[in-house]
Structures are given as structure tokens and as C-alpha cells.
Structure 1
Amino acid sequence: MTKKRRRPIHLHVMVSEEELALLRARMAEAGVRNMGAYVRKMALNGYVLHVDLGPVRELVSLQRRCSNNLNQVAIQANTYGGVYPQDIAALQKDYADLWEPLSDLLEKLTQVVEL
């Protein structure tokens, strides 16, 4: 039984040692480990976009904390019928902390899209 490949055509390219070293350096720079995927992407699109998701992870963490705090305040309000002003202030601070990095990230993404 033969395995049906998604890309059945083999393409062979000869490079020098210097070119191979440069390819590997650029792959590492782009965060790509698969040479076939890198060469295919460069041949078809002319560029590889490496996205650092660190800021997104931070935003997700901030969003979780903000949501958790909001749930705690909602439980407090529904159970005891009141909310402390410091709870509202903490929610407002968390919300502000969330929007600053979010607006920075959106600005950076806009710059990337405009390239």
C-alpha cells in the first residue's frame, strides 16, 4: 500500500556550503526548523513572517485575571448585595493594564500589515 503524499513532486536544488550556512542562519532567525518548509515558503511567497507571541500570552494572562476578578465581584454582589469601592478600583486598574499592551500590540500588527 503506497502512502498518498500531499506534495508528490521532488525538487532538487544544489547549493554551496556558504549558501547552506546562510539558509540555516536565516531559518534560525525566522524560527523555522524544517528546511523544506522554509525553502518552499521563500520560493512561493518571498518571505517568512516570524511572529513573537510573548505579548499575546501576556494579554491572555491579563484577560484571565481581569475576568476572574470580575467574576469574584459579581459573586460578591449577588451573594451579599454590595460591592466594595476597592473591588471596583481593582477592576478598573486591571482593565487599564489590559488595554495598554493591547493597543501597543495592535499598533505593531498594523505596522506589519502595512509592509
Structure 2
Amino acid sequence: MDKQRKRSRAVLLRFSEEEILFLHTKMREAGIKNREAYLRKMALDGYIIRKDYSELKSLINELNHIGNNLNQMTKVANTYGGDHIQLSELKAIEGGLKKIWQQLSSLE
């Protein structure tokens, strides 16, 4: 080749078999047959979505604490009777916590 390449710098990427299959699927969806062109376009113009779950993790941590306290209260109520703690109130709290956990579990 007498011509000087426009792109003279090479970058080596390694993929697993599953990743290559996924890459080919994404290329087909984009209508691009040239792998080098696809990877260059994604590397230069693509974007990565980064989600911050720190608040959600904090909420889950607090719910764990509430759940632990609820378990301790239930143990006291079962051991010493309902005079100290109302079982109906504990059941209501437990039901509310279960609802919250179900909602959190459905989040991604």
C-alpha cells in the first residue's frame, strides 16, 4: 500500500464469545456491517448511562433496620404476651413493609 492510512493508530480490544455475538446483534440492529466502523462510532459518539442508586441503597438499609426492629418487637410480643406490644399493630407494620419491599424489588 503506497497510500498513507488516515487512521494510523490501532487499539486492541478483547471480547468473549458471548460479547462478540452480542456485538454482531447490535451491529445488525444498527445496520452496520463493518465492525471497525461500528466500534469506532460507538467509542467516539456512543454514551454510557450510569445510574446512581445511592439513595435507594440508603432506603433499603433503613428498611432493613426497621425490619430488624420489627422482628425484635414481635419476639417480645410472642414471649411476654400482647400486654407489652399490640400484635395487630405489628401485623399492620409488617404488611406495610412487605408492600414497600415489593415495590423496591420491582425497580431496576
Whether these two folds match at TM > 0.5 is: no
Higher Cα radius of gyration: 2
Q: TM-score, normalized by length of structure 2?
A: 0.38
TM (norm. structure 1) is 0.36
Q: Which has the higher contact order (CA 8 A, sep 6+)?
A: 1
Structure with the larger helix share:
1
